[in-house]
Structure 1
Amino acid sequence: MNSRRALSMAFVGLMSLWSFQTKGDAQTQEKPIVQIPQPGVPQIMTMEGKFVRASYNNEGYVILGYQATNRSVGDEWMLLEVGITVLDKTPDYRLTRAALSLETPDGKTIPLPSISEQREGNVQAIQQRAKVQRDSINYFPPRASRACAILFFPDLGSRALPYDVVDVSNDRACLGRLYFRIPGGITYGQHWLNVKFENSLVRVPFRILTKEEEQILSKNYKDIEKQVKDAFKPKK
């Protein structure tokens, strides 16, 4: 009798567990989880906002914004707003344009173009779009408080001259724009910005979203500013 009662209780328990899992599955369908792609290299964290991504390891930190690019599917030129610094005890580092590349959904790696290629390209449309469709990316670790310009591609009307290098240090918050020419045009799907520091590679994932993906996922992203502050909060 005791064994029969135990079996009955076990059956009730299994039914309760199945019911709980079913509810959990339904809740998962109602509120999808934003899964961060695996970079394939050692990284501490990747943080995500709607059109902002930030990734870092023990050496370097990279943040990017790509709203204008997400609105430019089919266009030949991609524009990324980027911020770069190094962390903590990392020595100053001279970053060259050869250290930056883009990986597209089809697995191809595209190098950063020269300034002459960019200026000969049709970038006016995405530049105009970026004036109204952009997100702040001025979120850095607390120590990076000095302004620093990334001048691989200064605006044509700007007084600034193009430079093929940018000197990054742990107290400098370096901001600028990157352009990539995409053969066949920008496509939906998973992209990666690769930034090679002296001893490591930081890969920042960003996904060109369809309208349906944007509607579903936009409610799940957290505030990027808070994520950065929490990530670099002093340890007690």
Structure 2
Amino acid sequence: MTKLSLLERFASLIERIIIKIMDGVVSSKERLLLPWFSQHWPRHWLLSANALTIYRACIALGVIAYLSWIDWRYDQLNRAILFSLIGFAALLDLFDGIVARALDTSSSVGSVLDKFADRLLLLPIAVVEFWPRDRVLVWIGSSSVVITLVITLINYWRINRREVPTNPFAKWTMTIASCSVLLGLFPNLLPLANALAWLVVVSGAIAVYKTARSLRMIIGTNSA
């Protein structure tokens, strides 16, 4: 057995583990929350799934503006404010998908908005946190984010506005990225945050590759 085949088998094993973990998390979340949201969530456009995603994007823009003029790393109050904003945005991220499924309003537009809102929130904070410590990490991570968003837009505008199927590495990557950014708000936890950020880069590269393959398969199917 060659080293390449061993590596492929190992990668396949890791993927199956991640799929099992993420499927378990998603199914548990829906089992716990979906019935309540289906019965009690207000049917108002200001509380629709897309509206929640837009609110999250607005929080991200506010965080970017906040980061542009504060020295938050050495200020406990500023770190607490950022931590609270990220936490609130994470709640909106948790709710928007549930609301979309509960009200049967899932759409490709919402999927695109969700991807942009996630990265708009996390990337600027990650750049501020890790740029002084590891610029290579920032360049690679930022490039991965840009490639992911470009693939998302190509898919939306060129393939009848269909969504490229999500892959477990993408969800896994965003989960780790959120943890890394939150830990990075605290200077004494920066080494751990930096290690997680490199894990994000590796997982993100796999996610980009798998998303690109999905896009290529869809293009091939549509062209046939």
**Category of TM-score, reference length = shorter chain:** under 0.3
Q: Which structure's residues are more often helix, by fraction?
A: 2
TM-score norm. by structure 1 comes to: 0.25
TM-score norm. by structure 2 comes to: 0.26
Q: Which structure's residues are more often strand, by fraction?
A: 1
